[in-house]
Amino acid sequence: MNASIKKYAAEFIGTLVLVLFGCGSAATAGGELGYLGIALAFGLSIVAMAYVIGPISGCHINPAVSLAMLISRKLTVTDFVGYVASQIAGAIAGSAILYAIVVSAGMPMTGLGQNGFGPGYGIGIPLLMAVIVEIILTFVFIYTILGVTSTASNGNVTGLVIGLTLAFVHILGIALTGTSVNPARSLGPALLLGGQALSQVWVFLIAPLAGSALAVAVYRWLNSHKGEKA
């Protein structure tokens, strides 16, 4: 099989798993799990996938991560397009499976782990604050990824560190925006739910990408040594 096809297939599977298990935990058992349980579901999804698809595609499963790798010249434009398309397809597939599970159980369709803001969502932060929160959360997540992947000797713990960092940003972000930091993860549930989730999803497409670009810029300025390509 063509190497690129394998990478795209891995990104599809990884994003499907992230959305199904992360958003699925929020949608079906959020009340029982609480914020910490949901955060761990997202984080552990990354840990699990990192050690199986990491050697194939790098386990981005997030357009914001792929953008950081593109800006850092660690990913070609062609692969960036392929990665993002695969991630979006995986997120939609994961959301569709979750939707089917909820409907089959006769549960009321109250959500699919979608992101949001404003009255009736979390603590009700306004639009501007939602943008700021997502930029900050994504900045922390991507900045950590850039740091832990910069040294080959970190290879054995990279997946664990990234997964725990995703859980870490979720602990704060769930009550604010549901924590996106991942445009694909936000788009999948929004497309199936429509309504407010779809009308607000643009925030969770743009802000994580802005946070990613900011993280790369700061990493290049603060962490890069002379002669090192960030």
User: Tell me: the pLDDT tens digits for 5-51?
Assistant: 999 999 999 999 999 999 999 999 878 899 999 999 999 999 999 99
Length in residues, the chain: 230
Tokens of 95: 């959301």
Q: According to the model, what pLDDT value does residue 2 have?
A: 86
pLDDT at 1 over 70: no
Instruction: Give the residue from 100, 64, 102, 104 showing the smallest Cα distance to 184.
Output: 64
Q: pLDDT tens digits for 164-197?
A: 999 999 999 999 999 999 999 999 999 999 999 9
Asked if 150 and 222 touch (Cβ cutoff 8 Å), the reply is no
State which fold the 3-222 domain adopts. Glycerol uptake facilitator protein (1.20.1080)
Read off the pLDDT of each residue in 144-163 and give the average, rounded to a whole number.
Answer: 91
Mean pLDDT along residues 135-146? 98
Phi then psi dihedrals of residue 207, to 5 deg: -60, -45
Q: Is the separation of the CB atoms in 146 and 215 below 8 Å?
A: yes
- pTM exceeds cut of 0.85: yes
Q: What is d(CA 107, CA 57) in angstroms, rounded to the nearest whole number?
A: 36
pLDDT of residue 227: 45
pLDDT over 80 (residue 224): no
Per-residue pLDDT reduced to its tens digit, 104-115: 988 777 799 999
pLDDT at residue 27, as a whole number: 92
**Residue matched to tokens 């560190």:** 161
- Minimum mean pLDDT range among 63-67, 91-95, 155-159, 222-226: 222-226
- The proportion of the chain whose per-residue pLDDT surpasses 90, expressed as a percent, equals 87
pLDDT at 225: 66
Q: Is the pLDDT of residue 100 over 80?
A: yes
Q: What percent of the chain has pLDDT above 70?
A: 97
Higher pLDDT, 154 or 215: 215
